[in-house]
Copies of this chain bind each other. A is one copy, B any other.
């Protein structure tokens, strides 16, 4: 860094540059922006950073990120606890919640099985899922809502095999054409899956 740079700005830019998808140029721009923000907003930002890191734990039931012992979804009695939707990460819970249609509970794996990246099943929250199902006989269905990728499919397959002997219904999200998508531009695997899973109208 050039000697003319004010030290605190350079330090802040370096912190921003540690975040994913933020390069040094953007980090500098953000750091300059912070110096022009009202001081109370910067204080709020600074506290939000610490709070998000310090007050975050995993829900003891579904393993989603939360600031309490049990997350709001698991605590909500109006939700159907007999269905568990298994997802890769907390962002997927947010995405499914956004549809407003799903009224069951969740289980967050915090990753997908990927031996090439060193992610073996024991590194995911799979044992917590099994323990949860074994402890609660009211659970009827497990929906595998992992991504339609090699890792997502493998993880779904692995968990479904573990759950078969327990006698639980395991389902997978439907794959097909995205709504509003154009058939001509769909990739062949998606199109094949859409054909395979065709429904009577």
Contact = CB atoms under 8 A, between A and B. Distances in A.
A7 B68 CA distance: 10
A9 B54 contact: no
A22 B30 CA distance: 10
Nearest to A98: B2
Interface of A: 2-9, 11-12, 14-15, 18-22, 26, 28-35, 37, 39, 41-56, 64-67, 71-73, 76, 89-91, 93-94, 97-98, 106
A94 B64 CA distance: 43
Contact of A34 (B5, B9, B49, B67): B49
Q: How many copies are assembled?
A: 2
A29 B35 contact: no
A134 B19 CA distance: 46
B8 A48 contact: yes
B30 A20 contact: yes
Contacts of A18: 37, 41, 45
Query: Interface centre among A5, A51, A67, by most B CB within 10 Å?
Result: A5
Contacts of A44: 15
Given A4-B106, A11-B51, 6 more contacts: A6-B71, A15-B48, A18-B45, A35-B65, A42-B49, A45-B49
A97 B2 CA distance: 6
Contact of A52 (B8, B29, B51, B54): B8
Contacts of A12: 48-49, 51-52
A4 B56 contact: no
